[in-house]
C-alpha cells in the first residue's frame, strides 16, 4: 500500500510540473524569473522542475533576454516537436484528419468527403482510421511520438471508454465510437462534441483568449454552443450541456431536425434560414447561397438576426458570460455583415446589467477549426499528465 505522505509529495511534484508546463505553453518563451511570478511557485521549485523538464526534452531553451543590469536570462519554451497531436473533424460533409506539432502547426492533412445524409458509422470509422494512418505516414512523424488523437463529432458524447455518441441529426443512436476506433488504432483517443472542441480552440488561440467566463456560439447548418465557466468547459451531468440550438424560441414553431418544434436551430441554422427564404440548395451550394442571402436585404435575414439576438440574450441571461464568441461558417457570415444589428437585437432581449458586462465578438479561427480544437484535447491531456522518472524519485518539494 502506498503511504499517504509519499503520495502527497509525488502529487505535489507532478502538480508543480503541470502548472509550470501549462504556464510555459500558453505564455510562450519565458524566463525562470517570469515563471515564478506567473505560477506563484518558489524560485527553487521553478529551477528544479524546469531542470527536470529540460532533461526530459519536454521544454527547450529559446534564446536570451536582457535583465536589468544583470546576466541575460535564458528563455524557456515547450519543445514543439516533443510530441504530436492528431485532430479529427467529423462533419456533415467531410471527415478531416490533421496532424499538428505542439505549436499547433499543421504538418499533414487528409480529407474524405461524406455524401449528404450518408453518415454510415462504418464509413466514418474507416475514413478516420485511414486518415490517421495517412497523416502519420505523410508527416514522417514516428508513431511513438504521437501523443494521441482528438475527435470532434456532432451530437452528445458520453464520457467514458466507449465514448457513446447520440447524434440525432446524424442518424447516430448510441454509437460506441471510442470502442470502434480503438479497435483500429493504438493511439490514445479523446472524443468530444465538435462545438466543444471548436470552443476550446477559440479559448486557447482565438477570440476567447483571456476570458474565464465565455460562450462560443457556433452556427452552421446546425447550431451549438460551448459554455466556459470559470475557465472550464461546462458539461452538465452527461456532457450534453450546450445544446443551444435545441432551446425553444417559439412554442409550436417550425419543425427541427431533432424531431422537436420551435428550436432555435430551426430559425437560425443555415439550412433552416435558406428554407425559410425559399432557396433550394444542396450541401455543395449551401454556403454560397447563404452568403448571397445575407447581403440581399431579405426580410428573412432581418428575422434571422432577431432570433439570433434573442438566442444570444438567453445565453447572457443564463450564464452571465464576459464574452460571447460567434463562430461557425454561417455565424461568421452573419456577423461579418450584421454584427451591430445582432448586438442591438441581443440588447433588446436581454437584462440590462448582464448585457452591459458582456461583449459579443466574432470567432478568429475561421469556420474550420474543429480538427485543431480536437487536437487541443490531446495537448490538454499532455499538459496535465506529463510525468517523468524524476517524479518517482524522493524529491525535495519546495
Ligand atoms: Zn431541435
90 CA to centre of ligand 1 in angstroms: 20
Q: 256-277: per-residue pLDDT in tens?
A: 988 999 999 999 999 999 999 9
318 CA to centre of ligand 1 in angstroms: 19
168 CA to centre of ligand 1 in angstroms: 9
| Confidence label for 323 from pLDDT (cuts 50, 70 and 90) | very high
In the prediction, which pLDDT does 2 show?
42
- Angle ∠(261,266,267) on CA atoms, nearest 5: 125
Q: Is the pLDDT of residue 149 over 90?
A: yes
In the prediction, which pLDDT does 391 show?
36
Average pLDDT, the chain: 91
In the prediction, which pLDDT does 4 show?
47
* Residue 102, C-alpha cell as written in the block: 505542439
302 CA to centre of ligand 1 in angstroms: 21
120 CA to centre of ligand 1 in angstroms: 21
Q: What are phi and psi of 97, to 5 degrees?
A: -125, 130
* Residue 235, C-alpha cell as written in the block: 458539461
245 CA to centre of ligand 1 in angstroms: 6
231 CA to centre of ligand 1 in angstroms: 28
Q: Is the pLDDT of residue 7 over 60?
A: no
In the prediction, which pLDDT does 247 show?
97
In the prediction, which pLDDT does 70 show?
79
Q: Is the pLDDT of residue 35 over 50?
A: yes
Q: How many CA atoms lie within 13 A of 377 on its CB side?
A: 28
CB 128 within 8 A of CB 95: yes
CB 128 within 8 A of CB 114: no
* Residue 212, C-alpha cell as written in the block: 474565464
Number of other CB atoms surrounding residue 144 within 10 Å: 7
Residue with cell 483517443: 189
| Confidence label for 1 from pLDDT (cuts 50, 70 and 90) | very low
215 CA to centre of ligand 1 in angstroms: 19
140 CA to centre of ligand 1 in angstroms: 43
Q: 165-185: per-residue pLDDT in tens?
A: 998 878 899 999 999 999 999
182 CA to centre of ligand 1 in angstroms: 31
Mean pLDDT of 56-84: 91
Contacts for 74 with CB less than 8 Å, ≥ 6 apart? 31, 32, 61, 63, 64
Q: 300-318: per-residue pLDDT in tens?
A: 999 999 999 999 999 999 9
In the prediction, which pLDDT does 83 show?
97
Mean pLDDT of 128-133: 98
| Confidence label for 387 from pLDDT (cuts 50, 70 and 90) | low
181 CA to centre of ligand 1 in angstroms: 28
pTM value is 0.87
284 CA to centre of ligand 1 in angstroms: 23
303 CA to centre of ligand 1 in angstroms: 18
Mean pLDDT of 334-344: 97
Residue 352, class by beta-carbon neighbours within 10 Å (0-12 exposed, 13-18 middle, 19+ buried)? exposed
Number of other CB atoms surrounding residue 55 within 10 Å: 12
CB 332 within 8 A of CB 362: yes
180 CA to centre of ligand 1 in angstroms: 28
338 CA to centre of ligand 1 in angstroms: 25
Nearest residue to 77 via CA among 40, 26, 43, 42: 26
Q: Is 277 helix (H, G, I), strand (E, B) or coil?
A: coil
DSSP state letters, 303-372 = HHHHHHHHHHHHHHHHH--SEEEEESHHHHHHHHHHHHHHHHHHHHTS-HHHHHT-EEEE-SS-TT-HHH
Q: Is the pLDDT of residue 64 over 80?
A: yes
Contacts for 149 with CB less than 8 Å, ≥ 6 apart? 85, 86, 87, 88, 132, 181, 185, 187, 188, 189, 190, 378
Q: Is the pLDDT of residue 245 over 80?
A: yes
In the prediction, which pLDDT does 389 show?
39
Return the DSSP state at 170: G
Amino acid at each position: 500500500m502506498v503511504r499517504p505522505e509519499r503520495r502527497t509529495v509525488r502529487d505535489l511534484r507532478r502538480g508543480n510540473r503541470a502548472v509550470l508546463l501549462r504556464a510555459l505553453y500558453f505564455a510562450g518563451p519565458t524566463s525562470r524569473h517570469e515563471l515564478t511570478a506567473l505560477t506563484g511557485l518558489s524560485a527553487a521549485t521553478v529551477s528544479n522542475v524546469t531542470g527536470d523538464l529540460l532533461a526530459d526534452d519536454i521544454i527547450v531553451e529559446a534564446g536570451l533576454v536582457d535583465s536589468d543590469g544583470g546576466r541575460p536570462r535564458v528563455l524557456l519554451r515547450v519543445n514543439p516537436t516533443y510530441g504530436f497531436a492528431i485532430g479529427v473533424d467529423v462533419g456533415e460533409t467531410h471527415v478531416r484528419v490533421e496532424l499538428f506539432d505542439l505549436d499547433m502547426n499543421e504538418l499533414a492533412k487528409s480529407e474524405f468527403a461524406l455524401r449528404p445524409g450518408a453518415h454510415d458509422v462504418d464509413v466514418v470509422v474507416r475514413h478516420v482510421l485511414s486518415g490517421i494512418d495517412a497523416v502519420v505516414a505523410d508527416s514522417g512523424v514516428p508513431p511513438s511520438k504521437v501523443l494521441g488523437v482528438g475527435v470532434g463529432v456532432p451530437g452528445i458524447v458520453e464520457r467514458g471508454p466507449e465514448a457513446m455518441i447520440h447524434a440525432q441529426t446524424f442518424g447516430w443512436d448510441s454509437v460506441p465510437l471510442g470502442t470502434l476506433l480503438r479497435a483500429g488504432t493504438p493511439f490514445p483517443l479523446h472524443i468530444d462534441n465538435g462545438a466543444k472542441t471548436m470552443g476550446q480552440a477559440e479559448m486557447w488561440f482565438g477570440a476567447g483568449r483571456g476570458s474565464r467566463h465565455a460562450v462560443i456560439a457556433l452556427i452552421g447548418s446546425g447550431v451549438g454552443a460551448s459554455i466556459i465557466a470559470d475557465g472550464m468547459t461546462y458539461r452538465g451531468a452527461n456532457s450534453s450541456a450546450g445544446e443551444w440550438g435545441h432551446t425553444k424560441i417559439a412554442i409550436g414553431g417550425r419543425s427541427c431536425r431533432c424531431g422537436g418544434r420551435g428550436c432555435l436551430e430551426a430559425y437560425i441554422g443555415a439550412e433552416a434560414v435558406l428554407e425559410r427564404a425559399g432557396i433550394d440548395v444542396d450541401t455543395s451550394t449551401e454556403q454560397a447561397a447563404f452568403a448571397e442571402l445575407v447581403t440581399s436585404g431579405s426580410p428573412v435575414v432581418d428575422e434571422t438576426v432577431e432570433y439570433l439576438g434573442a438566442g444570444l440574450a438567453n445565453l447572457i441571461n443564463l450564464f452571465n458570460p464576459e464574452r460571447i464568441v460567434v463562430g461557425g461558417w454561417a455565424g461568421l457570415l452573419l456577423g461579418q455583415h450584421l454584427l451591430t444589428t445582432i448586438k442591438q437585437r441581443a440588447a433588446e432581449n436581454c437584462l440590462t446589467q448582464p448585457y452591459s458586462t458582456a461583449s459579443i465578438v466574432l470567432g478568429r479561427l475561421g469556420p474550420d477549426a474543429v480538427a485543431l480544437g480536437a487536437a487541443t484535447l490531446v495537448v490538454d491531456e499532455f499538459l496535465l499528465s506529463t510525468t517523468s522518472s524524476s517524479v518517482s524519485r524522493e524529491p525535495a518539494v519546495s
